[in-house]
Structure 1
Amino acid sequence: MNVIGVHGREIGQVTERAQFAVVPLGSVEYHGPHSPLGTDTILADGFAERIDASLHPLIYPTVPYSACPGKTQHYPGTISIRPSIFIDYLTDVVEGICRFGIRNIVLLNAHDANMGPSRTVAEAVTGSYPDASFLLINWWQMATVDFTQRLGLFQGMAGRGHGGPYEMSAVKAFRPEMVIVQESDLELDSCPPLSPLPYVLVEGTPQGWDGYTGRIRQCSLEAGQSIVEEASRNMNLLIKEWLDMRTGNNGEAK
């Protein structure tokens, strides 16, 4: 159910029925000449719609504006909100949901720069609402890193990267007309991993970068459909496990 369509007289019924709220998080950000500025918003919307209705989600409107990294801020079309403003804004949104009577909240993210602020908000709000639980889902992490390689979706790479084949193939699965690669568009290879261990590297101008990265001619609808199907399946399994944990498998809130 989408909260936009809820009438005032239905609020009690809706909050009683909904098992959790979903706040999709997008951005307005340059993703290369081949990609829409609303890439992350399209993905956040699309995956929100793929949440299993039998889990009884209450879906809120996608937040379209957010903080953007330095490496995309100066590219045309990017709108970057100061991180402190975004944190305050998102805090007000989720506290409003808590006051509405819902304590289980999924932050469904499609923009990597939302990860830090989302965690900050979740940690802070659980201080005010100790019975609240936040599940932070980054859609691209709902398929394993080697998933595309096992299926042979992309040649010579996993396809990951901002505006790259992995992300933009997923956009094609939702909006096939929105990704347009031309012969003049550069193909770029990002730098190889520094370590097999997790790490965070922040650079203003990374290697293999022009507001996007990747061998973009390998974007395809078929790859996108496989990625979206796998990510959606794992996303719903994760949400179900979380809800089962929250209710103790007996339908009663912990």
Structure 2
Amino acid sequence: MKATDIHGRDLKTLEQAKFAIVPLGSFEYHGPHSPLGTDIVLADGFAELIDADLGGVIFPTVPYTACPGKTSKYQGTIPIRPSIITEYVIDITTGIIKQGIKKIILLNAHDANMGVSRTVAEYVTGKHTDASFLLINWWQMVAIDAAEEIGFVGTKGRGHGGPYEMSAVKAFRPDLVHVQEGDPEFQEVPSLSSMPYVLVEGTPKAWDGYTGLICQTSYEKGKIIVGTAASNMNALIKNWLSD
């Protein structure tokens, strides 16, 4: 069910929803082979794959957001200041709670939204202690070590504009992803540690607004990624609702 399709005389439908879905995208350069709306396609696509029988209502995707310095310098990217997008999503989610929906999924398709999502969720649940947020980054719904099973060779495929992300886009919109002969490819940089960490650089290695062995992008890999991610996402949501 989409919130945009609900008529004014049917507002009680909102109150009856078990949870709200707020997809978070971006308008950002993803390389010569990828659409500027990559993260919007993914946010929209995965929102539609949430099992309707779970009783959620999908709100409009947030299309503009904060973008990192390493992409904001590329033409096509439209970045929003972090403080602005944080306040904006706070207002969106607070407005949803006022409609009577106390459970909210922030369904994220953009790396830079991760901090925003956590900040919003912590702030809003501090003001509305009966509210509950579930933060879902779609790419984390598939194990990193599943790369070989998916079909990637010599790479995990992960990274901005890389074959993992763009295969997923291709699964939703095969017409939008076009890797051409001569498009530069970038080998993965060796990990600094086996432990989880975050490294932020103004000019990363192996990078030109995107990264990865993009020739391994494919519709077939995308269908595996999207199918696995959707299955794990729905299982997570079901557990959250029954908790």
Task: State whether TM-score is above 0.5.
Answer: yes
- 5 Å matches for 1:106-145? 106-145=105-144
In the other structure, the counterpart of 1:249 is none
Q: Which residue of 1 aligns with 2:91?
A: 92
Question: Which residue is 1:248 aligned to?
Answer: none
1:48 Cα deviation (Å)? 0.2
Which residue is equivalent to 1:102?
A: 101
User: What SS class does the counterpart of residue 42 from structure 2 fall into?
Assistant: helix
CA-CA distance at 1:101 after TM superposition: 0.5
SS in structure 1 at match of 2:204: coil
Match of residue 238 from structure 2: 240
TM-score normalised by L of structure 1: 0.94
Runs of 4+, deviation exceeding 2 Å: none
Distance 2:88 2:233 in 1: 25
CA distance in 2, matches of 1:169, 1:46: 13
Structure 2 residue runs of 5 or longer lacking an equivalent are none
Are 2:205 and 1:228 equivalent residues in the alignment?
Answer: no
- Separation in structure 1 between the aligned mates of residue 187 and residue 210 of structure 2, nearest angstrom: 10
Instruction: Report the equivalent of 1:57.
Output: 56
The aligned residue for residue 182 of structure 1 is: 180
Displacement after TM superposition at 1:190 (Å): 3.0
Name the aligned partner's letter for residue 225 of structure 2.
Answer: I
Q: Deviations over 1:44-89 (max 9, x none)?
A: 0000000001101100000000000010010010000000000000
Quote the sequence identity (%): 64
Matching residue within 183, 192, 195 for 2:193: 195
Paired residues of 1:190 and 1:209 also in contact (CA < 8 A): no
The residue type equivalent to 2:33 in the other structure is H
Matching residue of 1:159: 157
Does 2:73 match 1:74?
A: yes
Q: Which residue of 2 aligns with 1:250?
A: none
User: 1:228 & 1:58 partners in 2: Cα distance?
Assistant: 21
Aligned counterparts of 1:54 and 1:102: Cα–Cα separation in 2: 17
The CA deviation string for residues 3-52 of structure 1, in whole angstroms up to 9 with x for no partner, is 00101111113312x11000000000000000000000000000000000
One-letter amino acid of the counterpart of residue 168, structure 2 = A
Alignment deviations for residues 187-239 of structure 1 (CA, whole Å, 9 cap, x no partner): 11131111111101000111100000000000000000000000000000000
Q: Distance in 2 between matches of 1:230 and 1:40?
A: 18
Q: Give the whole-Å Cα distance in 1 for the aligned partners of 2:53 and 2:40.
A: 24
TM-score after normalising by structure 2: 0.99
Q: Which amino acid aligns with 2:234?
A: N
Secondary structure at the residue paired with 1:21? strand
**Structure 1 residue 6 corresponds to structure 2 residue 11:** no
